[in-house]
Structure 1
Amino acid sequence: MGIKVLGKTKDLRTNTPVIYAQMSIMDYLELVSDDFDDFRFQRKRVNYVPYERMKEDIKKGALLPSITLATKFEYTEDVLSVLDNDDYLKHTLLNMTGKFNILDGLQRTYILQDIKNEGHEFHPEQSVLLEFWIESQLKNLIYRLIVLNAGQKKMSMRHQIELLFLNIKDTLEREIPNLEIHTQKESTRRNKSKKFALDRLVMGYQSFLLKNTEVKRSNVVAQEMLENNVLDSTAEELGSGFEDFIRFLNIYTRLDEATFNHYENYSKSAHVEAENEEEFDYNSAKQWFASENVINCFFAAVSKFISSSNRESNLFKTLNRLVELINQSQVYSDPLGLGVLYKIQSGIDPRRVSVDFQTRKIIYYGLLEYFKEDGAINLDECWQLGAF
């Protein structure tokens, strides 16, 4: 396997080192490994008619547009340490098989792999141009993916955030105790707390950025207006905001753990006290914090609250007290007031309104009431207030 370094530059706005290189197609496929599609997370393979034409052109020797790779976040220092020595740099890159994320060129890589699997032999001089993106500063990573990518080509904010989480998934799992992030491809039954689907965390962060639960708006103009507010942010603002998101994600996983354990114990109890004999969906209750609607509502409400008040530290105290409240609750109690919430949800008329939309409205405004009152109000009352 060989590689030719063509040049190096730096994005002067973010100080991101960039390496331009060239490899044979077979060497490139070996570098990204057969498991390269593990990096895609929710980015699905696209069946697009022009790709068939591209496939035939490649077989005839066509040169592809450059492909952008990024070293996984934890390996950036390995590359940066040899950046000024081309011999060491080439050696380092060639020994990083499977340690790259494909930021731009996933579909092209699929096509190249298909051609290889069909037994086609690429011309030995047919190469692929590569751009290696080496970024070790989290704030610059966020800024480049969310803001600069938006200016380079049309890319949904959702996709940009997926790329961000693609780069820092392992970092998040190291920073937050027992956090497990799984992809759609790896999707398994959620049989423990602190286990979240990556696409739901992506939407949670998008809700945090937009301060809004409706991250999949049909109104394109309204969506662009919300996203433009984010794109006006500086690297420092985005970096600081993401640090806030991580701190609240940490406490969110603790809420999930406490809730999962409490309602699992509830479900294992053989006898229920008379006042609780009414049917209660405890299986849904223990998974409550893993649901898409709750994740979106929680992070949208948190972002809205801390942006409109100077009570961020109060909110941490409120949420910590909620964790303790759940942990110390009696077995047959319902500390989150979910029995009331489920009753309210059952009264939503799907012929008049969207059940999901109305559910998000109730949870979002209910959480805001809870935050405003510093937790000095029962959540079942908050859900009722959120329903008005």
Structure 2
Amino acid sequence: MPIKIYTIDDDNVIGSKFITGKTNYAFAVEHLYELINKLTIQRNLQNPTFYKRLRRDLLRECIIPPITLAFILDKDELPIEVEEATEYINLNIKKAFILDGIQRLNALHQAYTEPELDVALNLTRPLFVNVLICKSMDNLLYRMITLNNGQKPMTANHQIEILLGNIYDFDDLDIVIQTEKSKGAGKVKHSFEKSNIIKSYLAFLSNSTAIDNNKIIESKLDELIARKIIDSNITEDGLEYSDIIKLINNFSEDSYLKKWFDNVNNIIGFSVGIRKSFKVVQLLNTQQFKKSINVFEETFSALKLSTIKLSRERRNLSNYFISNYDTVADIDEIDLLGKFNDEALN
């Protein structure tokens, strides 16, 4: 039974369509179960013994809470009518991933393949579904965190996996990302370290340079970052991380700027500050931006390094410099040092 759609409404916070519908166990076993390992953004399966009772209840024909599916689709193509949504979802079901309900689908599949009672799973039983069709993975991630943070905060490893799970297709963006493993084969010209890009993305989402701190218990830091993401205006300013990474990539055609962005503290500060100044900075050519970064580095070299925490101040000052780019880009080192001293240095 293909998914039958009943309602389609707008989520005006994340700019998505929220759709309700129904299918049956047969469709779930054949088409939805294979989606549960599609992205590493999704939670790992829990111990099957936790869902032993649910498997038995499924065989006894219970009704389980709706499964939530998600699609990413260009904003100009978001369906408006029920019929249009129905056609899109059923034709493109392999492009979906499970936003909520991985454990339930796994239990359903095990009830089908390994029944514990003397009855087969009734594949005609109804399975209700919710579907989010969203224009942005950033906004969808925001919704995932608002839904899941209260019950299980994201771990640091889970955050790392967000970018490992092909949220962004860097090949399409003409960007080369190197992992620790691939670096063994030699440095690729004009490539970025994946760990730096991940930290850049987290900084962008949370609107904060404080995304790693060994003075805070890891689980609490994870909760703090998740809360910062929820509190940021990621769903309101219309800026996507793909816009940011393309801008970084373009500037990095210059070897001096590439080296600057290879410093993880610089790229973190840039990724936060650019949210305030993107419209200004995107209009710059490489030489204009390089000239201003030269001034930034000359000014930074005037700091008394023995009195500051270098990594923290580089993040904070690059954030300050980029976020206030329209007012500081054309001043000299001494005036910029005065700005740092008056407004940015702790």
Superposed displacement of residue 44, structure 1: 3.6
Which consecutive unaligned segments of at least 5 residues does structure 1 have? 263-284, 327-335, 349-356
TM-score, normalised by the number of residues in structure 1: 0.57
**What is the RMSD computed on CA atoms of the aligned residues?**
5.4
Superposed displacement of residue 26, structure 1: 3.4
Deviation readout 1:248-286 (Å, 9 max, x if unpaired)? 322222355544998xxxxxxxxxxxxxxxxxxxxxx7x
Determine the structure 1 residue equivalent to 2:203: 207
Superposed displacement of residue 153, structure 1: 6.9
TM-score, normalised by the number of residues in structure 2: 0.62
1:188 and 1:149 map into 2 onto residues whose CA distance is: 30
2:229 and 2:280 map into 1 onto residues whose CA distance is: 25
Query: For the Cα contact (< 8 Å) 2:32–2:105, is it kept in 1?
Result: no
SS at match of 1:169: coil
Determine the structure 2 residue equivalent to 1:252: 248
Where do residues 178-189 of structure 1 align in structure 2 (5 Å cutoff)?
178-179=174-175, 189=182
Where do residues 91-130 of structure 1 align in structure 2 (5 Å cutoff)?
91-116=87-112, 118=114, 122-130=121-129
Instruction: Give, as a single letter, the amino acid of the residue that structure 2 aligns with 1:10.
Output: D
Deviation readout 1:158-201 (Å, 9 max, x if unpaired)? 8899889979635x764x4x03579x9xx85155345564x864
Superposed displacement of residue 16, structure 1: 4.1
SS at match of 1:63: coil
Query: For the Cα contact (< 8 Å) 1:3–1:94, is it kept in 2?
Result: yes
2:250 and 2:121 map into 1 onto residues whose CA distance is: 52
SS at match of 2:123: coil
Residue 374 (1) aligns with residue 329 (2): yes
2:145 and 2:268 map into 1 onto residues whose CA distance is: 24
Instruction: Give, as a single letter, the amino acid of the residue that structure 1 aligns with 2:132.
Output: W
1:202 and 1:74 map into 2 onto residues whose CA distance is: 24
Determine the structure 2 residue equivalent to 1:272: none
Query: For the Cα contact (< 8 Å) 1:69–1:131, is it kept in 2?
Result: yes
Determine the structure 2 residue equivalent to 1:354: none
Superposed displacement of residue 149, structure 1: 6.3
Instruction: Give, as a single letter, the amino acid of the residue that structure 1 aligns with 2:245.
Output: L
Deviation readout 1:101-150 (Å, 9 max, x if unpaired)? 221123333444455555885322233211122334x5xx7567536962
1:194 and 1:16 map into 2 onto residues whose CA distance is: 33
Residue 313 (1) aligns with residue 280 (2): yes
- Counterpart among 269, 273, 296 of residue 297 in structure 1: 269
Residue 71 (1) aligns with residue 71 (2): yes
Describe the shift of the 1:320–1:3 C-alpha distance in structure 2 as closer, same or farther (beyond 3 A): farther
Determine the structure 2 residue equivalent to 1:57: 57
Query: For the Cα contact (< 8 Å) 2:33–2:106, is it kept in 1?
Result: no
Which consecutive unaligned segments of at least 5 residues does structure 2 have? none
Where do residues 107-256 of structure 1 align in structure 2 (5 Å cutoff)?
107-116=103-112, 118=114, 122-136=121-135, 138=136, 146=142, 150=146, 154=150, 169-170=168-169, 174=172, 176=173, 178-179=174-175, 189-190=182-183, 191-192=187-188, 193-194=190-191, 197=194, 201=197, 203-216=199-212, 218=216, 227=227, 231=231, 233=233, 235=235, 237-239=236-238, 242-243=239-240, 245-256=241-252
Superposed displacement of residue 21, structure 1: 2.1
1:152 and 1:129 map into 2 onto residues whose CA distance is: 20
1:47 and 1:374 map into 2 onto residues whose CA distance is: 55
Superposed displacement of residue 62, structure 1: 3.3
- State the identity as a percent: 16
Instruction: Give, as a single letter, the amino acid of the residue that structure 1 aligns with 2:63.
Output: L
Instruction: Give, as a single letter, the amino acid of the residue that structure 1 aligns with 2:2.
Output: I
**Higher RCO (C-alpha under 8 Å, 6+ residues apart):** 2
SS at match of 1:38: coil
SS at match of 2:269: helix
Deviation readout 1:22-43 (Å, 9 max, x if unpaired)? 2233322432463541223364
1:300 and 1:55 map into 2 onto residues whose CA distance is: 46
Instruction: Give, as a single letter, the amino acid of the residue that structure 2 aligns with 1:132.
Output: V
